[in-house]
Amino acid sequence: MINIRRISPVLTALAVLISAVCFSTVYALDTADNFQWEPVGPEGGCAYSFYQNPDNLSEIIMGMSGEPGTVFRSVNFGDSWENTGTTKGEVYKVAVDPIDSDIMYTLGGEGISKTTDGGLSWEWFNFAEDPGETQYFAREGMLIDYQNTDIIYAVGYYLTEFNNYRGTIFKSIDAGETWEAIFLGPVMDYATATAIAIDPDDHNTLYAGAFGMLGGGSVVKVLKTTDGWASWDDITGTVNINPDAILIDPVDPSQLYIPTGQLVFRSTNYGQSWSRAQNWNFSSVLTIDPNNPQNLYSAGVNLCGRSTNYGVNWELTYELTHGKPNQIGISGDGELIIGSYFGVFVSDDNGYNWEEAVSGLTATTINTMAVSPSNPDVIYTYTGGYSLKRTMDGGLSWEDIMGPEICHSFEAIKINPYDINTIYVIGGP
């Protein structure tokens, strides 16, 4: 039995002073081997976004958070991962050239990172003409035109000199080197474009979602262009919640879906009208089965659901315990994958059971750690959420340990020098 004791949050400031550490893995110094440092885990990390090869659904390019971010590749639907390179900035979204898979882009806030050699090297392009100008930000979405891969779109916002916002769509026609911006709506207290999608049959038809706050009220917009972004029509209709994404049926592009963080909206007529899905009020991310588009899978905070009739009705498949999901994908035959703030997880039974898929995924952000003074093979780390990770064998294997639920974060860990099963944590609500 492990005894975890919570110390009052008033000691948090002290904890920061004695444990100011944030890195991606634990390293051990081997004094018998020319003082070489070796990584010992734990594996995992915050998975913001991934790209799934439409021609081989088992191949996934995963973007992991950090400063800078890291990109990993799996060719076996998450059974194992290989580090393909470190980008120039954070990784909020990943896009891969549909013609040349060695060309990849990651969305990083103030610009994008680009590689043309499969991740061996990366270069950075800023959205603003002046590299020191940081009024333009994009974190919510990015896509590549499948007919002209020099054309890239990204969505985010423009921050005015008075600290107001305008939802913004960015477009590059030269593979990311320079960018244009188009503003969606007026200046607001807060605004951002949140989603973008391209029609699989007509590359000049795009859809975008936007959200804003003005005078204490919220403004939601769903927009459509049929001329490659020159002009946009308002097709918001009954959509009244922030669009987290826009998905288009790969077989029938008249079918559109918008997950909102609370529920799913659906259109059967290219966005002319919208209806709400029934029996499902926890949507955060959504995916369409490319082989059977009537099957949709959605996940929210601690929940996963499935629809077998184009999103009209939903059933709960499992109560997840892996935090807020950032993206969900499918390989067919009931295999699902989720990237979340707490790592990567896979299911082979339509979402009823899940397990970690982090072999080789060394992108964990470690906020604090402790090594037992009596046994250096015993290490505790805190990586986020409500859980700690512990190894008893010097990093060969790790296990999750639930901390006190009244703590949302831990700032320091101390191990009893006389009892490795008793630890003390400093944290706060």
* DSSP structure class, residue 9: G
Split at pLDDT 50, 70, 90, the class of 148 is: very high
C-alpha 2/C-alpha 8 separation (Å) is 20
Split at pLDDT 50, 70, 90, the class of 19 is: very low
CATH number, domain with residue 51: 2.130.10.10
Q: Which of 347, 362, 377 is the last residue of a domain?
A: 362
Same domain, 307 and 214: yes
pLDDT at 18: 30
**For residue 104, what are the contacts with CB-CB under 8 A and spacing of at least 6?**
51, 61, 71, 94, 95, 96, 97, 114, 115, 118, 119
Closest C-alpha to 416, from 424, 408, 428: 424
Same domain, 372 and 343: no
Q: Which of 344, 362, 380 is the last residue of a domain?
A: 362
At 15, phi and psi to the nearest 5? Answer: -60, -40
Split at pLDDT 50, 70, 90, the class of 337 is: very high
Structural domain of 35: 3-42+364-428
Total domain count, the chain:
2
C-alpha 15/C-alpha 368 separation (Å) is 9
In tens, the pLDDT along 175-214 reads: 999 989 888 877 788 889 999 999 999 999 999 999 999 8
Q: Which of 318, 341, 362 is the last residue of a domain?
A: 362
Same domain, 230 and 268: yes
Same domain, 223 and 204: yes
pLDDT at 11: 33
pLDDT at 314: 86
Burial of 281 (0-12, 13-18, 19+ CB in 10 A): middle
Task: Tell me the percentage of the chain whose pLDDT exceeds 70.
Answer: 84
C-alpha 80/C-alpha 72 separation (Å) is 10
What value does the mean pLDDT take over residues 33-43?
Answer: 72
pLDDT at 248: 97
Same domain, 313 and 213: yes
Evaluate the omega torsion of the peptide bond into residue 417 and state whether it is cis, within 30 degrees of 0. Answer: no
Same domain, 348 and 383: no
C-alpha 424/C-alpha 288 separation (Å) is 45
**For residue 199, what are the contacts with CB-CB under 8 A and spacing of at least 6?**
205, 206, 207, 248, 253
Same domain, 235 and 368: no
pLDDT at 247: 96
pLDDT at 322: 65
pLDDT at 114: 93
Inform me whether the pLDDT recorded for 321 exceeds 70: no
Inform me whether the pLDDT recorded for 384 exceeds 80: no
Same domain, 231 and 96: yes
Residue with tokens 């982090």: 358
In tens, the pLDDT along 232-268 reads: 999 999 999 999 999 999 999 999 999 987 788 999 9
Same domain, 87 and 37: no
CA distances (Å), origin 189, targets 211, 269, 402: 11, 33, 39
Beta-bridge partners for 178: none
Same domain, 138 and 14: no
Same domain, 88 and 139: yes
